[in-house]
Structure 1
Amino acid sequence: MSITSLSAPRFHRPEWATAPVILGAVIALFWVVTLLTVHWWTPYDPTMLAGMRFSPPTWENWLGTDALGRDVFSRSLYGVRQSLPIAIAVIGCAVLIGAVLGALAGYLGGLVDEIIMRAVDVTLSFPPILLAMAVTASLGPGLRNAAIAMVIVWWPIYARLMRAQVLAIREREHVEAAVASGAGPARVLFKHILPLCWSPIIVNATMDFGQIVLLAASLSFIGLGAVPPTPEWGQMISEGALHFYRWWIAAGPGLAILSIVLAFNFLGDGLRDILDPRSK
């Protein structure tokens, strides 16, 4: 027997634990911690004067100041208190509404399926940003109305996804066996079908998280989201666009949005590998 065969077995890292997934988890954890603790450790109040107007980055103001002399670094960190909760609320409501309607459409079929799917088709026929703009403009500016608009835009995605899962799983042998044994429709749906439908929903919701943050920032960028002086990333980028050569005004919120979108895309890829190894 060789010495190599007697050596201790090596530790094999799980295939999903790649550098991008770990990086995404670290970034997401940073923003969650920032959301919970930002008011304790930021150097300046995000709505108060912190220096001269349009001051470039210095040791006192790491990302400079804006048109009103407010600290851009502090405002960029405080922006997560608007973007992260709204993304969580939109994802939760969209998944709930879409999953319920999609499950009913896929399992009941017939007229119920036709009505729900035609509503889905009509909603998805509009570009998401235009539909969100129209709904928000009709309700009025504000983060709450922007969240309602984004739920209207996003629920059809999960309804269609859940319907496809239900249609595929209800034809499996264990479902037919449950029906043959006398199980009622509700028991078959909730016990034998829905528990097997959630993997793609969870993966899709994780990857959509960053897109919702981006859409919320887009609505604020055009004046349909957060109302000043609330520190919000899209609104800060809009201000930076007005003062284009003061690049630091938009740099902080832009990097924050970029980091969140990348983080949740990386996490979505990792979850897909965990929940559906065949996708590799």
Structure 2
Amino acid sequence: MIASPRLRIPTFGLSGGTLPVALGLLVIAFWVIAAATVQFWPLDPPLDMVARRLQPPSAEHWLGTDALGRDVLSRTLHGARFSIPIAVLVVVAAALIGSLLGALSGFFGGILGAAVMRLVDVTLAFPPILLAMAVAASLGPGLENAAIAMVVVWWPLYARLMRAQVLEVREREHVEAAVAAGAGPFRTLFVHVLPLCWTPVMVNATMDFGQVVLLAASLSFIGLGATPPTPEWGAMISDGARSFYHWWIAFGPGLAIFVVVLGFNFVGDGLRDLLDPRTD
């Protein structure tokens, strides 16, 4: 009996664990470059009505046109100029605010620690999407207000994570030796404790980039994020959702969100395996 040959997938010299990370980095690099340079690409202007409305994908317009005759491919690529910077801004701001408050709470404890953690508990008691919707609705539509709403939702996660790390690291011998040598509390915290606490925060932040892109699109989808005619992915999907028969309007931005979230998840998993010695 002749055995059937096995299917071999080319990995280009990469192992099974590093291949998803490499793919994720390529995806992220593409969208970052697109966000920075797409205005110089030979594309139709994203706000101009360049063709007949609701044209299906063709050789001239690869992803068709929307209800106003605007090129969907151009609008999808230009959408990276809004979705990617918003994700970076929200994750960096939430990580800095949450990590600082969590570090102070875990290191000093007392009234400060109790106050911070009660605020964290109250914030985390609400589903993230509902809390983001409530904050964004109170501030009004717009990408800036949506970013503020997402920071309000995300910073408690980093505060709790950093507090747990600080509580563990502050009991180590080198920290006790620094205190015995006369190091002040803030020097001990920022020099001897925090440098050992950033690994989980970095991994978590990498995973959160994709989730923030998804949440920003969700807020825009329901009218609490980007306002027309901004070519933002969630707003574009909202336009496409009004007509089932014109599927291409939502396909482009939906695929962009899927690929970006998948890319950041691949990179986050790779960083976790690389930086966390407790993983296999």
> The TM-score by the shorter chain falls in which range?
over 0.9
- Scaled by the length of structure 1, the TM-score of the pair is 0.93
After superposition, the Cα gap between the structure-2 partners of 1:14 and 1:47, relative to the gap in structure 1 and judged at 3 Å, is closer
What amino acid is the match of 1:20?
Answer: P
Equivalence for 2:71: 71
Residue identity matched to 2:233: W
Structure 2 matches for 1:97-112, cutoff 5 A? 97-112=97-112
Kept after mapping to 2: 8 A contact 1:42/1:74: no
Unaligned runs of 5+ in 2: 1-12
Q: Do the aligned residues in 2 keep the contact of 1:50 with 1:71 (CA within 8 Å)?
A: yes
Letter in 1 for 2:246: R
Query: Is 1:47 matched with 2:47?
Result: yes
Distance 1:87 1:193 in 2: 28
Q: What does the per-residue CA deviation read over 1:72-129, in whole Å, with 9 as the maximum and x for residues that have no partner? A: 0000000001101111110111011001100000000111111000000000000011
Structure 1 residue aligned with 2:208: 208
**Equivalent residue runs for 1:104-123 within 5 Å:** 104-123=104-123
8 Å CA contact retained: 1:16, 1:273:
no
2:279 and 2:179 mapped to 1: Cα distance? Answer: 30
Match of 1:182, as an amino acid?
A: G
SS of alignment partner, residue 241 of structure 2: helix
* Residues 1:59 and 2:59 are matched in the alignment: yes
Decide whether aligned partners of structure 1 residues 155 and 165 sit closer, same or farther in structure 2, where only a CA change above 3 A counts. same
Aligned to 2:82: 82
Task: Give the TM-score of the pair, scaled to structure 2.
Answer: 0.93
CA distance in 2 between partners of 1:78 and 1:264 (Å)? 19
Using the alignment, how far apart are the partners of 1:65 and 1:184 within structure 2? Answer: 63
Alignment partners' CA distance in 1, 2:228 and 2:184: 54
2:248 aligns with 248
* 1:1-280 → structure 2 map (5 Å cutoff): 18-280=18-280
Q: Which segment is superposed worse, 66-75 or 178-187?
A: 178-187
Identical aligned pairs, as a percentage? 67
Runs of 4 or more above 2 Å deviation: 13-17
1:250-275: CA deviation from partner (whole Å, max 9, x where unpaired)? 00000000011000000001111221
SS across alignment from 2:253: helix
Distance in 1 of aligned mates of 2:14 and 2:116: 41
**Cα offset for 1:277?**
3.1
Question: Could you tell me how far apart the structure 1 residues matched to 2:43 and 2:78 are?
Answer: 11
Letter of the 1:261 counterpart: V
Aligned AA for 1:33? I
SS of the equivalent of 1:79 reads: helix
Alignment-mate amino acid for residue 220 of structure 1: S
Counterpart-to-counterpart distance in 2, 1:145 and 1:152: 11
Structure 1 letter corresponding to 2:147: A
- Mapped partners of 1:189, 1:16: distance in 2: 39
